[in-house]
Amino acid sequence: MDSQPRRIGIDITTRTETNKADKQAILALWDRFLSTNIGFFLLEHTSVIRTFARSEATFVTYIAPGAISFLIGFFLLIIRNIIFGLLFLMAGFALLIVGGILFWAYFKSEQRYRDDLITRKELLNQHDVVEYVSAQTLSAAADHVLPEFRANGWPAHQPIPARWMGISIGTCHGVNTWASSEQPLYVLGPARSGKTTSVVIPLIMEAPGAVVATSSRRDIIDATYSFKRDGWQVTNRYQNTPATINNSKPLTGRAGSCYLFDPMNVAGSDNPHTDPTLPPRLNWNPITLCANPVIARACAETMVNTVGIQGDNKSWANAAIDIVQGLLLAAGLENKTLTDVYEWSSNTQSCQTAARILRNHPENPTAGLWAMHIEQLIGEDTRISSSKMIGVTGAFSSLSLQQVRDAVTPDPTRPVLSVDEFVQSTDTIYLLSPLRPSSGASAAGAGVFMTMFLTQVRDAARRIAPTKLGGRLQPPLTLVLDEIANIEPWQELPQLFTAGTGEGIWPCAFFQSRKQAEDAYGKAEGQMWESSNKLIMGGLSIDTELREISLLTGHRLVQHTDDSYNTNGSLFMGGSTSTRSDKVAVLEPDEVRRLPYGNALNLHTSHRPGFIHLIPFWQRGYQPIQ
């Protein structure tokens, strides 16, 4: 007798697993049918697909066409119309089989839910897509948004292509759907929802102007660097009049300079300075622009805000900003480096070096005033000065690492980046930084210099914008801020969401949940949410967020049929049927959670929600320019 215990469930395959491949094959045929002209017509212009896809459908819905045909054939046989009777009987029998198979494979599939959303009348239809979010719409707006294009010689009889106003994020009802740089983009989706492949990388590739992209991984570099450096083209997409094909003008991306700021070697390269798979190191001097007191103040606010001094201690953070701005201004006036500033920031005595430098610049009235904040540290109670210095030393703590000091110290043998020139170019800068630990402190605080760079780029864009026709950068500067809340929250982002696009700055921020954004930006997150073009992916799980998104989709009427029976249980002997209409959300919270992979819900401020089929970067046909 076998004494070995029996293993239950191991090496046993269920019928559901066995049938999965067959169901997938049937669904593949269904999807292929919908992509044909007939299938697309039925999907877009009839209620046939809607009848099968709607959530109220039952098994009877699927077999009803076959049953009706079968009954007609039976009736024709009774009246002795043999030929037509047999034809209807055979057709009915075939439709019964097809309906049963379709129900078996389709009823509980994600494809059915996708078709349900595509055909839901309360969402954007094809006419709405063309009216609000098509290439034609963006092109029509370009004349007043991008006046420099006409002034620089763009022919008056040719529309300005939509690609200079935004990017195509996918399709809706067969029409290319565009995100406009006129409105900030707020992308909401948990990990592994397709944000990077379907939105982040296409944004980097197809952004109309200069790009700054943040990330905690090198995958965005691997996917885009060679194309951004050498240029690219897509032979089946065009950059002329949006509605007209011209094979002589394929969609192209200009070759441009690319740089990488990666002080913590997130890219994982053995030799990051000479690795051919990585862009050259960003040769940036954070101090150069700090000779301007306005920029020094903005950078000081950015750096101290990353320390995380909140609540009752906020006054100490403000005091620290007053000191840090003086340190930065002193370094800028004397062409010092951040290493010098780091040495000054170590204690109250060493800070006085910066105060003396400021006093030596009487031509700058701000310098003397800011020197006072530093000089006060000497005569103050030790407890007060120590509280102020928490924010000061914390702002520069990451400079204790040699690799961070090297990253922010310019190489004298190479040209130093001009931020003013960069924002007017089509160049790309990648900012990589590790994720912050859950405790809230950054990994050696390296992310603080990423946010400092973002602040200087924003300020440069704001300086340049008034000098342009129309008062904005043309084409716009695109900030692709992936993992921005997990790396180091940039506290200037909420204000940029509410005011930046008018200056030609297009912020695109990516979050795993609204709670993550709220933890990073507090109540200001609400302003970002309200003023943005929202792209929502499936997999969200916080109930309050799902309910709020559901509420924003609006309402629809759903009909339900109720049957009542007499005491004998017969519908035909005293029973009745009644129909009622219930008001429900266009998308219920659970439906928002279950949004199919590869699709997104688009919530815009000016039109109905749209169900978007996203196009990942590998399906966009990028090719090197020959």
pLDDT tens across 440-451, in order? 443 336 788 898
pLDDT at 3: 55
Q: Does the structure show a pLDDT above 90 at 212? A: yes
Q: Are 468 and 439 in contact (CB under 8 A)?
A: no
**Global pTM?**
0.88
Question: Does the pLDDT of residue 23 top 80, yes or no?
Answer: yes
Cβ atoms within 10 Å, residue 316: 20
Average pLDDT of the residues in 607-613: 93
pLDDT above 60 (res 221): yes
- The whole-number average pLDDT for the span 401-406 is 88
pLDDT(387) > 50: yes
CA atoms within a 13 Å half-sphere pointing along the CA-CB vector of 548: 14
The one-letter code for the residue type at 476 is P
Tokens 């939105």 — which residue? 199
Structure confidence at residue 561 as a pLDDT band (50, 70, 90): low
Residue 126 CA to residue 133 CA, distance in Å, equals 10
So what's the pLDDT on residue 593? Answer: 95
Task: Quickly tell me which residue has 């090496």 as its tokens.
Answer: 11
Cα 325 to Cα 298: distance, rounded to the nearest angstrom: 8
- C-alpha 145/C-alpha 327 separation (Å) is 40
Helical ranges in 79-193 per DSSP H: 82-106, 110-118, 126-132, 135-145, 147-151
Evaluate whether 475 touches 146 at the Cβ level (below 8 Å). yes
pLDDT band at 204 (very low <50, low <70, confident <90, very high): very high
Q: Which residue has the tokens 């057709």?
A: 91
Tokens 């570099």: give the residue.
221
Instruction: Give residue-wise pLDDT tens across range 72-86.
Output: 988 888 887 888 888
Is residue 510 within 8 A of residue 179, CB to CB? The reply is no
